[in-house]
Each structure stands twice: as C-alpha cells, then as structure tokens.
Amino acid sequence: MTITTLFLFLFSFLIHRPGIFAFPQNPDASALFAFKQSCSSDPGSSLASWNPTTDPCNDTWKGVTCRNGHVDRLILEGLSLVCHVVPLTDLPYLSVLSLKNNSFTGPVIGLDLAMWRPHLKLLYLSHNQFTGPFPHTILALRHLRRLDLAGNRLSGLIPSQIGNLLPNLFTLRLESNHFSGEIPTSIAKMAYLSDLNLSYNWLEGKIPPRLFSFPQSSFLGNHELCGDPLQHNCSNRNFTSDPAVVSRRERNKWVGIVVVAAALAGLVVILVLTVAAVLCFKKKRKKGQLGNVNQGTTKKVQETETGEVMVFFEGCEEFTMEELMRGSAEMLGRGVVGTTYRVVMEGRGGDKGVVVKRVRRERRKEEEATERKVLEQMGGWRHPNVAGLQAYYSSADELLLVFDFVHNGSLYDILHRNRGPGRIPISWSTRLKLAVDAARGLAYLHGESKSNNIPHQHLTSSNILVDSNFNALISDFSLLTLTSQPLLYSPQSSDVYNFGVVLLEILTGRTTEDGMVDLPKWVQTVVREEWTSEVFDVELWGCKDMEDEMVALLQIAMLCASKEPKDRPKMTVVCKMIEEIRDRGSRSRSRSRSSQSPSLTFESSPCLSEDTPTLTSS
C-alpha cells in the first residue's frame, strides 16, 4: 500500500467519524432541536428540515431566520403542530415569534421568559389551545410591540397593570378567550395602541372612556360590557372584578331567581313569543328595504348580531362578522383613509386572505342613504385594472371595506423599495405595461362616474396595486368621500395631474418622498430646453433602443402635469396615447427581430448586460 493510498484511507476514516472535523455548533441549535423533540404531532413533517447536524442559520431550517449567527425570527404558522413552548424560551436573541394557528396546549402561566426580555418585539400565539390565566411573565417584555393571544382558552382577569408595564404596544388582541372582570383602565395609557380587540370574552363593566375611539367590533360578544362605543347603557349597573364579591353576588342572585322563576314562567313564554314575532316582522321589513337598494349589484345582505349589515357583492365568498374578527390579522399600513389589514380567516381562501380597510368616521343618520349609494356604486365597478370592492360592513362609527389581497404590493413598492446592491432592475417593458394598465383602470373609473364627476382624490403610486401577473390595479378610488374629514372639491383633472406624477416616478425612479416637493418641476429643471436621457432612472440607462419610447412617455407625463387644469387631457386620451407608444414600439421591435438572428429577443439585449437579471412581466 503506497503512502498516498494510506493517507486517503485515513482521511476518509477520520472525516466520517462523529465529532471529527465537525464545525462549531450554533448555540441556538440545541433549543430548537429540543423544541422539535417535544412535538407529539407534526402531521405535515414541517420540521423535517431541522437536522441537528446542520446549522439552523444556513437557510434550510423551515421558519427560522437568523441575524449575526443567532435565531432572530421563528415563524411556524398553520402547521397543526402539537409541541411544548418551553424550549423556545432559551433563545436569547429572538425578536419575532409566531406560532399562530397550530394546536399547542397547556398553560402558559409558568413560562420563564427572562431570556426574551432584551429583544422580543412581536409575539403571536393566537388560535391554539393554551389554557390558564394571563401569563404575567409577558408583562416583563418591555420591548414588546405586538401581542396576539386571541382564539385560545385563557381565563381569569386581564392584569390591571398591563398598560403601565407594556406602554409601547401597537397591537393587543385577546379576543375569543374566557377572560372575565373589568377592562383595565391602564390600557388607555398605551399611547401607540392602534389594534385592540377584546371581543367574545366574559368581560363586564363600563368600557374606559379613553377607549371609546375604538370600534364596536373591539368589544362585541361581552354581554355584560356597557358604554360607548357599545349601545348598552351603564345606568343602574353595579360591577366589580373582585372574585369573592362576584361569588357572593351570584349566590344571592340565584336565591331570588329560584323564588321568582315559577311565578313568571308563563309570563316569560308569552313575552318571548311576542318579542320574536316583532323582531321577525322588523327583520323582514328591513331586508325588503335593503333588497330594493342593492338590487342587481349585491349577492347577499347579512345582518349581524348588533343589527348592522354586511353586504357581499357578486363574486365574493360569504363569511360572518365573527369569522372576520377571529381571523389572523396583519397590519399592512395606515393612510389618510384609514388602517389597512390583511386578514386570513380559518378555512377560507387558504393563506391568501383578504384586505380589510378600517375607516373610522362618525356617520349621521341622514347620511346613511348617501353612503349606501356610494358603496353600491363602488361594488359595481368590475375591471381588470381596478381593485373592486368585494364586501363591506357599516356602523355608525366604523366602516370595514373588504378587497381581494394582492401579492406584489403597490407600484411604489415595485419602483422604490430595496434600492441598492442586489436589487433586480425593473425592465422598460414592465414599466410601460404598468403605465398602460393604470391608465386603463383610471380611465374606466372616470367613465363610470362621469355623471357625478367623481375623482379619486388621492391617486399615488401607493394606491396602484400590482398583482402576481404584474397587472396594475387602481385602488382606493373615491374612498375619501366616505371619511368624516372635510374635503375640498377636487375635479377629475386633479387625478390626471397626479397620474402624470406617477408616470414620472415610473420614468425617473424618484419619488416625492426624496425631498423634492414638486417632481414635475424637478424634471423641467433637468431637461432644460431639450429632452435628455439624464432624467431617466439609472436602471434604464442601458435601454438606448427604447429611448424614443421613454421620451414620448415623458412628454405625456408633463402634459398631464400641466399647471393649468384646462391644459390636461382626459384620461381616455392619455390611455390611448400610452397604448400607441407601446404598440409602436412593439411593431418596431418586431421588424428589428425579423431582420436579425432568431436567437435575439426583446428581453435578452436591449437594456442590461446578459448576466444582469431583470424583473419583467409575463
């Protein structure tokens, strides 16, 4: 045996021995693997990728995201896991933990969360089967921003000091549990709280005055709660959260009930029958009235337990208000219209979910008919480039608008997010397609509302959505008319101006948030007396063959952004001009390809180098 052969044999032997030449183990791996071993059920083998011989930070462990070599985020949602949470408390750098929609059981009161204190910000444990009282150790997580314990079997009192100890919460969701007693007044001290839901518990007493600004849906299903925003009067009610007092009061109450029950049995039967007949009559009459208004545009009118209605338009899968409120919610953003959430309802639509816009406003009785008419008109808008209203819920102080969820976010996200190294450039063909789509959608909406001259009133690149096929959809059209804030009259020509600004964003890659208050003015300054390629986005500098098309679209953008409204074209005209640019360019490239090698295609050569990926529409 030669020396070389012997060396190779020994090397092969050593490298396959456990522990020999092993890489240093990630300090968080043991906690994660202990969690995996504690699982009594993993029906989808979701944790099969958690291999103890690999590093959890190598991007192969499902749900695990690391930062600086430590586990930073653990997201295991909707996997039907039955595991113990205790091992996860040994992850000292964890900032996000989401175990929503699984089957975790047992109490959480005894968890030692000391290692989570320095970093944990988001904690989602909703829709499991956790039991026991509120886990007081959570109150020590001073950096916590979002807490979601909804849809479990937690009971007892909500800690009275929760608002003092967790003052920076943005989200507090405790709905669909068994919490009792009064709502702690300290919750009102959470200055940043925008998402509060305590519905469907056993809470009682008066809602603290500083929580009146939250909608009814935050408190529904607590039959002993009273005060604004609920319509339950608190007069002649005495409440206490002391368990001993509650117990004595319940015993005394039962003595009186037993004595009186027999004498009133007959009267109660008669009263129930009478009330049922009256309610049935009112319900039929109300449905008849609504049916006349919604005729031809709605699929279903559903009455909620508070007497309000949910209206579903054609093509929308029906659901109940309770299902919507129990759904897993993620706040997408907050704008001038209201707060936008993505809501995933259990057993409906998979993990896609719907988008819910919560509009807070005070609606007077005389405004109901006008608002309903506007909503019915919105529900009838159906166009490939319009984000159509699918359903809505309306009460005196709140309006919930339901839309389909769009995966790629907004045009603003596509154009401006993640600028810098590693970003995939947006091709010219994709930008031009998005411009055509947006023009078609806005032209359609202007045409549909022509008799009323209804404008969008707040058209920006953030209000133009982009779906998975890179189709642009106009959203939030005329929603400002449904808010309580006073509005100046804004004609459709103002939409044309704003659309011109959107075109300039597509061409320049710049936004008004760059510190430039007037984007059209900046463009005029750059181009001076002649059109120049220096104004275009750096991602388009290699598209010399398309420069004529870009200059033509730039001229349309500046025409739309004319200072005088009378100089701005109608959107139907704008749409036709942009379509002509696209069609003319397509014909020109088609002729060019026919005279060149068959292997040369539009996407392979005109803009960037061959090794540079581009984001193109299909």
The full DSSP string for 108-137 is -TT---GGGTTT--EEE--SSEEEEE--GG
Q: Please report where in the chains the tokens 């921003």 appear, as a residue.
A: 145
Neighbour tally for 169: CB within 10 Å: 20
Report the side by side order of strands in the sheet with 153-157. 105-107, 129-133, 153-157, 178-181, 202-206, 224-226
Phi (first) and psi of residue 519, to 5 degrees = -65, -45
C-alpha radius of gyration, the chain, whole number: 30
Predicted confidence at residue 613, as pLDDT, reads 46
- Whole-number pLDDT of residue 485: 54
Rounded CA-CA distance 348/503 in Å is 37
Q: Does residue 222 carry a pLDDT above 60?
A: yes
pLDDT of residue 334: 75
Closest by CA to 136, choosing from 153, 99, 161, is 161
Q: How many CB atoms lie within 10 A of CB 42?
A: 17
pLDDT tens, residue by residue, 24-55? 478 888 899 899 999 999 998 989 999 888 88
Residue 307 sits at φ, ψ, to 5 deg, of 90, -5
For residues 549 and 428, is the Cβ–Cβ distance under 8 A?
Answer: yes
Q: At 521, list the tokens.
A: 């003015």
464 torsion bin: left (phi>0), alpha (psi -120 to 50), beta (else): beta
Contact 514, 484 (CB under 8 A): no
CB atoms within 10 A of CB 587: 10
List the 309-313 sheet strands across, edge first. 298-303, 309-313, 391-394, 398-404, 354-360, 339-344, 328-334
pLDDT digits (tens, 9 = 90+) for 60-112: 899 999 988 899 999 999 999 999 999 999 999 999 999 999 999 888 877 88
How far CA 128 is from CA of 31, 97, 113, 572, in Å, comes to 21, 14, 19, 52
Mean pLDDT computed over every residue of the chain: 76
List pLDDT tens digits, range 432-489: 999 999 999 998 888 866 555 677 778 888 889 999 888 999 888 777 777 655 455 5
The mean pLDDT of 544-564, rounded to a whole number, is 88
Query: In which residue are the tokens 């500083």 written?
Result: 210
Looking at residue 511, what is its pLDDT? 79
Dihedral sign computed on CA atoms, order 246, 248, 251, 254: negative
Residue 95 has a pLDDT of: 92
Q: Give pLDDT tens digits for 158-168.
A: 999 999 999 88
Q: Are 341 and 356 in contact (CB under 8 A)?
A: yes
Contact by Cβ (8 Å): 117, 75 = no
Best CA proximity match to 503, nearest among 566, 549, 445, 456: 549
Specify the pLDDT at position 249: 42
Q: What is the pLDDT of residue 151?
A: 92
Site of tokens 């069609």: 583
Question: Does residue 615 register a pLDDT over 60?
Answer: no
Give the pair of three-digit tokens for residue 429: 């063909």
Pick the residue with more confidence: 252 or 122?
122
- pLDDT score, position 283: 45
Going by C-alpha positions, the residue among 245, 277, 274 that lies closest to residue 180 is 245
Residue 348: per-residue pLDDT? 65
Query: Measured between alpha carbons, how far is 264 from 280 in angstroms, rounded to an integer?
Result: 24
- Helix %, strand %, coil % of the chain (to 5): 40, 15, 45
Q: Smallest Cα–Cα separation from 476: which of 488, 460, 490?
A: 460
Please state the rounded mean pLDDT for residues 515-542. Answer: 72
Q: Can you tell me the mean pLDDT for 398-425?
A: 83
Question: Terminus-to-terminus CA distance in the chain, angstroms?
Answer: 62
> For residue 299, what pLDDT is reported?
55
Q: How confident is the model at residue 302 (pLDDT cuts 50, 70, 90)?
A: low
User: Which of 52, 47, 51 has the alpha carbon at shortest distance from 63?
Assistant: 47
- C-beta pairs of 151-154 under 8 Å, 24+ apart in sequence: 151/126, 151/127, 151/175, 151/176, 151/177, 151/326, 152/125, 152/126, 152/127, 152/128, 152/176, 152/177, 153/129, 153/177, 153/178, 154/108, 154/130, 154/178, 154/179
Q: Mark out the alpha helices in 327-427 (DSSP H runs).
A: 368-379, 411-416
